[in-house]
C-alpha cells in the first residue's frame, strides 16, 4: 500500500543548491550535456549523445511533443508603467490558438497595481510579415489565482498563435532571473515540439538531437509521442511543511490510442519516459483505466485524475487490465484520442504501474518534481544528487540530464 502522503515532510526532500550550479544558458550543442546513469544502485557518468548505449534494445521510449508558446506579452499603461500579461491557457475549451480576434485567455498579470484596469484597455504595437498591428488587452474577470483577459487585434487576419509568435516573449523559468534572448526561442524548445500550448518546456527533451534519435532507431528502440501542455504551476514552490497541504496544478493532455497499444505490446518489459510530464500523463492513463473498471468515470470521455487519486483509491489492478479497459472504451466510442486533465501527485510511496526508466534533468530542492524522483528511485535520490553536485553537473531547465532505472 502507498505511504500516506500526510506523513511526508518537505524538509526531508531538500538539498543545498548553489546559485552558480543553475545553468543560465544551454550548451552550444544539446547532446554534449552530461548524462548521469543510475542503474541497480550504481551511479556513473557519460555524455547525452551516448544515451542509446544505456537503453536496452527494443525498449519503448515515450516523449512529450508539446511546444512552448511566446506566452509573455508586455504592455504599457497611459502613464508608461510596464504591465506583463502571462498567458496560461484558453478561458474555455472552445478557444484555440488558430482563432482570430478576439480571444479570451486566463493569464497572470505582473504589476497589476499600476493598471487601472476598470478604466483602461492596454494597447501595444507589433509587426508581422511587414504589416503593423495593434494588440489590445482588457481585463474582464478576476479568478482565484489568475485573470481572464480579452485580447483583440487589428487587422484581425492573424491567429492568436501568430500574434504570440510575433508579439510575445518566450517564458523562461523564473529562477533564471534574466530576460530571454532571441536564441531562447530555439533552445528552449525540443526538436520534436509540434503541438502549441505549453508555457514551460518539457526540459528532459531539450538534450535530444536528430543524431541521438537516429542512434535510438538504429538500436530498434520504439518511440511514441503524447502531448501534455506544461503550465506555469510546474514552477509553483511548495510552501507548506507537509505535501498534503500543497495544491497540485492541473494540466491538459492528449494521448493517442497507438501509445496505449504500444505499451501493451511491449515485449522488452522496458518502458522509458522522456521527462516527468510524460511519466505523469501515462501513469494518469492507468488510473483512468481503473476508473473505467470500477465504474467511477462519468465525464463522458473527458479524463480527470485528481492529485490524490492513487492514494484515496489505491489499486492492485494490473497495468494490462487497466490499459485494456482504456482500449475497450476507445473502441466503444470510436475515438482514437484520449483527452483530459491531470493533477496527479507522485510522491514517495507511489507504486509505478508502467515505467521502468526515466530521463530527466535535476530539479529544485523541495519541489514536487524532486518528490517524484524520490518516489521513482527511493532514498537513492540523495546519492544521485550528491554525485551530480560533486561532478559539476549543471542543474534545472538548461542543465544536464540523467537516466534513472527504477
Quote the strand ranges of 72-111, DSSP E: 72-76, 82-90, 103-110
Same-domain status, 61 and 207: yes
Cell numbers 524520490 label which residue? 374
Whether residue 262 contacts residue 358, with contact meaning beta carbons closer than 8 Å, is answered with: no
Residue 182 lies in a domain: no
In total, how many domains does the chain have? 2
Are both 221 and 284 inside the same structural domain? yes
Q: Which domain holds residue 81?
A: 72-169
Longest dimension (CA), the chain: 65
* CA 102 remoteness from chain centre: 27
Query: Which of 142, 169, 196 corresponds to the end of one domain?
Result: 169
- CA atoms of 163 and 73, how far apart (whole Å): 10
CATH of the domain at 59: 3.40.1780.10
User: How far, in Å, CA of 401 to CA of 398, rounded?
Assistant: 9
Q: Do 163 and 244 lie in a common domain?
A: no
CA 267 to chain centre: 28
pLDDT score, position 3? 55
Residues in the chain: 406
Nearest to 208 by CA among 260, 139, 275, 298: 275
Examine the domain organization and report whether 209 and 322 are in the same domain: yes
- pTM, two decimal places: 0.92
- What confidence tens digit (pLDDT) does each residue in 62-79 have? 999 999 999 999 999 999
Q: Do both 142 and 64 map to the same domain?
A: no
Q: How many CB atoms lie within 10 A of CB 314?
A: 12
Q: Give the CA distances from residue 6 to residues 65, 235, 284, 373, in Å, rounded to whole numbers and listed in that order.
A: 34, 22, 21, 18
* pLDDT the model gives residue 301: 62
Query: How buried is 132 (Cβ within 10 angstroms: 0-12 exposed, 13-18 middle, 19+ buried)?
Result: exposed
Write out residues in the chain with pLDDT < 50, as ranges: 1-2
Residue where a domain terminates, one of 141, 169, 197? 169
Amino acid at each position: 500500500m502507498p505511504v500516506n502522503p500526510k506523513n511526508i515532510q518537505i524538509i526531508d526532500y531538500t538539498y543545498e543548491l548553489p546559485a552558480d550550479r543553475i545553468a543560465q544558458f544551454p550548451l552550444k550543442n544539446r547532446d554534449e550535456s552530461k548524462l548521469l546513469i543510475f542503474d541497480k544502485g550504481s551511479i556513473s557518468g557519460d555524455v547525452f549523445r551516448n544515451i542509446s548505449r544505456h537503453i536496452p534494445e527494443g525498449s519503448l521510449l515515450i516523449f512529450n511533443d508539446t511546444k512552448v508558446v511566446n506566452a509573455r506579452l508586455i504592455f504599457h499603461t497611459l502613464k508608461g508603467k510596464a504591465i506583463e500579461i502571462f498567458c496560461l491557457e484558453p478561458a474555455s475549451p472552445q478557444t484555440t490558438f488558430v482563432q482570430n480576434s478576439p480571444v479570451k485567455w486566463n493569464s497572470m498579470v505582473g504589476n497589476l497595481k499600476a493598471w487601472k484596469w476598470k478604466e483602461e484597455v492596454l494597447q501595444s504595437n507589433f509587426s508581422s510579415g511587414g504589416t503593423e498591428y495593434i494588440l489590445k488587452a482588457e481585463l474582464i474577470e478576476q479568478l482565484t489565482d489568475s485573470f481572464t483577459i480579452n485580447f483583440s487585434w487589428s487587422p484581425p487576419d492573424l491567429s492568436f498563435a501568430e500574434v504570440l509568435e510575433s508579439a510575445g516573449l518566450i517564458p523562461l523559468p523564473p529562477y533564471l532571473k534574466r530576460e530571454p534572448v532571441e536564441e531562447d526561442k530555439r533552445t528552449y524548445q525540443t526538436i520534436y515540439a509540434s503541438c502549441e500550448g505549453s508555457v514551460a518546456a518539457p526540459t528532459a527533451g531539450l538534450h535530444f538531437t536528430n543524431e541521438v534519435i537516429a542512434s535510438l532507431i538504429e538500436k530498434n528502440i520504439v518511440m511514441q509521442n503524447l502531448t501534455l501542455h506544461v503550465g506555469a504551476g510546474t514552477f509553483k514552490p511548495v510552501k507548506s511543511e507537509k505535501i498534503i497541504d500543497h495544491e497540485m496544478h492541473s494540466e491538459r493532455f492528449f494521448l493517442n490510442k497507438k501509445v496505449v497499444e504500444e505499451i501493451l505490446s511491449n515485449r522488452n518489459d522496458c518502458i522509458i519516459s522522456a521527462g516527468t510530464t510524460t511519466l505523469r500523463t501515462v501513469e494518469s492513463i492507468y488510473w483512468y483505466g481503473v476508473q473505467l473498471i470500477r465504474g467511477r468515470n462519468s465525464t463522458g470521455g473527458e479524463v480527470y485524475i485528481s492529485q490524490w487519486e492513487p492514494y484515496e483509491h489505491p489499486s492492485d489492478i494490473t497495468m494490462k487490465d487497466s490499459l485494456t479497459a482504456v482500449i475497450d472504451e476507445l473502441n466503444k466510442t470510436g475515438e482514437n484520442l484520449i483527452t483530459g486533465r491531470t493533477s496527479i501527485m507522485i510522491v514517495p510511496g507511489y507504486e509505478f504501474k508502467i515505467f521502468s526508466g526515466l530521463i530527466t534533468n535535476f530539479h529544485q530542492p523541495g519541489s514536487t518534481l524532486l518528490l517524484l524522483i524520490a518516489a521513482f528511485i527511493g532514498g537513492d535520490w540523495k546519492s544521485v544528487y550528491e554525485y551530480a553536485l560533486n561532478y559539476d553537473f549543471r542543474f534545472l531547465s538548461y542543465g544536464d540530464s540523467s537516466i534513472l532505472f527504477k
